[in-house]
Amino acid sequence: MAAVTDQMAAPGAPAIRRTPKGTFDIVFRNASRAAALFVLVLLAGIIASMIIGGWPAFREFGLGFITSSVWDTQNEQYGAWPAIVGTLSTALIALVLGVPLSLGIAVYLTQLAPPWFKRPVSTTIELLAAVPSIIYGMWGLFVFVPLFAAYVQIPVSNIVEGIPLVGTVLYSRSPSGLGILTAGIILAFMIIPFIASITRDMLEQIPSVLRESAYGIGATTWEVVRHVLVPQAGVSIIGAIMLGLGRALGETMAVTFVVGNANRLSASIMDPGSTIASRIANEFNEAMGLQLNALIALGCILFFVTFVVLVIARILVARVKSF
């Protein structure tokens, strides 16, 4: 038996090659290896196409492409700074709002929900991830934006007007409902299912003897979560949050609908802005020449940022998965 499994583990051992099916065996093994290698080719191709496509813009503007705030199609001057800031700030807002929500949901699902209620709630939360990005955009633009303008932007602007710092960050010059904050809020709902379901899985993997002994010495549910579960799953929860961040950075359609697509940088998160992805989606079909290269160069920046975030996320999630 051991010899047979050894041959299974090492395909291509001579005894197997002698069978009439030998040719098919070799073809099948090489085809599946080629398919697996294709995954690597895809990644290499994406990196190469971004760098080659964006090269003219990088060469033309150098480091100034990242630091410049000018985006002038008439004079062929392109700078990525407003889009980079927009991308980072929308993603940050999404995390600030989405992470507490996701953790609350994960705690509810693993600790509080009655058993019969767990599965329907889990499914509902996960279906939030199945709703296409463009539908979030439609909901954002036609339902959320008018409400947000009337009940948040206008009252908040009236309150904070004239106050230093807060008055700059939260004041909206034209309360249309569109803006960086709106995009961040929509993104928060879009990343909830990813963070919540990974955190739920992580909390469920924690051996229940830990929970039970904490309850046994008289801890409340909150204390069990705070002092036993969170420290146990801590690293992987950070990994889950990074995965959500990766999603938020690259989200395109929903953001394009609600971010306002302004090319200028504003100090207020209530004002319209743009993200890397929304700018690409907006301008790509009319772009020619250097503008096209500049947009692909933007994509290149987005790729490297999300790549680093996702690598960290996968390492953190994988490390704890094995306990």
Segment interacting with other proteins, rule: CB under 8 A, options 153-161, 172-180, 199-207, 248-256: 248-256
Among residues 2, 23, 90, 56, the alpha carbon closest in space to that of 296 is found at 56
Quote the CA–CA distance of 245 and 205 in Å, as a whole number: 23
The residue from 85, 88, 253, 290 that contacts other proteins (CB under 8 A) is: 253
Query: Which residues contact residue 157 at a Cβ distance below 8 angstroms, ignoring those fewer than 6 apart?
Result: 170, 171, 172, 175, 270
The residue from 187, 249, 270, 294 that contacts other proteins (CB under 8 A) is: 249
Quote the CA–CA distance of 179 and 278 in Å, as a whole number: 12
| Residues 259-278 interacting with other proteins (rule: CB under 8 A) | 277
DSSP labels, 56-113: HHHHHHTTHHHH---EETTTTEE--HHHHHHHHHHHHHHHHHHHHHHHHHHHIIIIIS
Q: Which is nearer to other proteins, 77 or 221 (CB)?
A: 221
Cα distances from 227 to residues 103, 211, 220, in angstroms, run: 15, 10, 10
Task: Verify binding: residue 78, other proteins, rule CB under 8 A.
Answer: no
Q: How far is the CB of 155 from other proteins (least distance, A)?
A: 21
Q: How far is the CB of 160 from other proteins (least distance, A)?
A: 25
The residue from 59, 76, 142, 166 that contacts other proteins (CB under 8 A) is: 142
Task: Verify binding: residue 101, other proteins, rule CB under 8 A.
Answer: yes
> For residue 179, which phi and psi values (nearest 5 degrees)?
155, 180
Task: Verify binding: residue 135, other proteins, rule CB under 8 A.
Answer: yes
Q: How far is the CB of 76 from other proteins (least distance, A)?
A: 20
Task: Verify binding: residue 132, other proteins, rule CB under 8 A.
Answer: yes
**Structure tokens belonging to residue 249:** 């950075």
First to last CA, the chain: 31
**Structure tokens belonging to residue 29:** 């093994």
Task: Verify binding: residue 233, other proteins, rule CB under 8 A.
Answer: no
Q: Which is nearer to other proteins, 52 or 210 (CB)?
A: 52
The residue from 14, 75, 115, 164 that contacts other proteins (CB under 8 A) is: 115
| Residues 278-297 interacting with other proteins (rule: CB under 8 A) | 280-281, 284-285, 296
How long is the chain? Answer: 323
Q: Which is nearer to other proteins, 101 or 265 (CB)?
A: 101
CB neighbours of residue 21 within 10 Å: 10
Q: How far is the CB of 157 from other proteins (least distance, A)?
A: 25
Task: Verify binding: residue 91, other proteins, rule CB under 8 A.
Answer: no
Q: How far is the CB of 68 from other proteins (least distance, A)?
A: 21
# binding residues, other proteins (CB under 8 A):
102
**Structure tokens belonging to residue 67:** 């630091």
Segment interacting with other proteins, rule: CB under 8 A, options 77-85, 231-239, 258-266, 302-310: 302-310
Quote the CA–CA distance of 263 and 274 in Å, as a whole number: 7
Cα distances from 17 to residues 7, 8, 31, in angstroms, run: 11, 12, 17
Query: Which residues contact residue 72 at a Cβ distance below 8 angstroms, ignoring those fewer than 6 apart?
Result: 78
The residue from 67, 124, 158, 213 that contacts other proteins (CB under 8 A) is: 124
Task: Verify binding: residue 89, other proteins, rule CB under 8 A.
Answer: no
Q: Which is nearer to other proteins, 160 or 297 (CB)?
A: 297
Q: How far is the CB of 115 from other proteins (least distance, A)?
A: 8
Question: Is residue 244 within 8 Å of residue 191, measured between CB atoms?
Answer: yes
| Residues 200-219 interacting with other proteins (rule: CB under 8 A) | 215-216, 218
Q: How far is the CB of 253 from other proteins (least distance, A)?
A: 5
**Structure tokens belonging to residue 257:** 């609908």
